[in-house]
Chain A
Amino acid sequence: MDSRTQEFLEYVQSGGQVETGDWLPDEYRSRLIKFIEMHGNSELMGVLPERDWILRAPTLQRKLALTAKIQDEVGHAQLIYRVVEDLGKPRAACLDDLVSGKAKFHNVFHYPTKTWGDVGVIAWLVDAAAIVSQKALLKCSYAPYARIMKKICWEESFHILHGRDVILAMVTGTQEQFELVQEALDRWWEPLMHFHGNLIPADEDPMYVWRIKSQANEDARQQFLDGYVPQIRELGLEVPDPALRKDEATDRWVYTEPDWERLRAVVTGHGPASQDRIDFRRRSREHVEWVERLLLAEAA
């Protein structure tokens, strides 16, 4: 590593932040683009599981709330792609890579939603898992990204409340409604445990080394479990992992280790809904291409 890069590394490791116009080492820039791009892709793909339910939501209020949540997520994607563009990768290239399967998005968006219970579990627990990671990103060494994370975290907090409200309505309803939630939780637990990534120690994780992430994967997972296992259990729901418990000696959660190969398969496009979702994105992009062309022509 040359001395300028070494200096940069020491600067970010001691809490320093950088702006778009600053000199950035090539490795830092490319890792940053990949990380932020994946986040943008995830926001865009994340609307698809929920979009399916707008017409099927049980009440008008839920339809409106779901629509507002989806609008927020697309808005986040736009904010995030804007940051990627300023780093040197045009939005069109990001979308090309997304629909070709070359770029990744979070594991949780590769799964189908089977019932309204899924919609509640996603808005409550998947968004909660995401907000743990997103709070850590408020300290990202790349300041433009850290700044948009403030707005994103603020809006995500409504999403979690909406999700929790959906779940609370169902667990205080009929036995059938309660079972819908439990069944959804049973299916979503594995993706949730995968969400924060594998057990790579912080000092071996390049994202942490460059202070793009400010937290180790396992610390994020522990934080999620600390916050949400009690919330799940107080409703009488069961976490579908009999090994899950908090170890008193270490003050850490102990659980059945997820299958990391399965996670790798999912995020490389082999999840149950991966191809459907990617195909949908590609088709909608083709359908609106004429609008983009028209706007750009008018502006020119």
Chain B
Amino acid sequence: MAASYFDVDGTLVRTNLIHPTLYYILNQQTPVQSFGKLFRAALKAPQMALAELHDRRLFNEMLFSSYEGMSRDRLQLLAEDAFDAVIKPSLYPEARSLVQRCRDEGQDVVIVSGALDFLMKHLAEYLGATGVIANRLEIKDNYATGRLLRPVVAGPEKAKLIREHARAHGHDLDHCFAYSDSYSDVPMLSVVGHPAAVNPDGKLARLANAYGWPILTLERS
């Protein structure tokens, strides 16, 4: 059996990692707490912008530090609301049918995202995906420390995690598919036999053209 590995932000949904994080920041227990977190995030914005340009992993770690101090219960409690309010409305119109088609072909569908696992589980459930590879927050005494557990899901690490997943589930990577919108996911696309660029950025589009990879849009033109 083959598997399809899907990146999420920009591939299946229009949003990126910032949108759900912002939702959590704005939905703290009190407006004062929300304002405080927003203020601290704003201070870190220039550093995060730089990190995004150079190292996706570093960017993820800086962004998710905004979750520091949130309780496990609250993270879980808000996850469904955040999914309904932020992620679900941003799904590309054809995302669900593409995932369904992969399932109809008997493939495992695995979400591979730098977003947080408790959010991605809702997305996987909604789309009918069978697995999730996503980032996990470190929790101590029921509160998030703001750090990510290793391995951090980003860039080349995604390729390694896909290899491990395929090995563990008996998938032949030559028959597997991977979908992403971003040049930073070239390692993940390169490990499978059937890579596809979805709504690709300029660099990925050029690469996909050069190698004859399919270029998909999940909206009708």
Specify whether A and B are partners: no
Chain A positions near chain B (C-beta within 8 angstroms)? none
Give the interface of B toward A (CB within 8 A): none
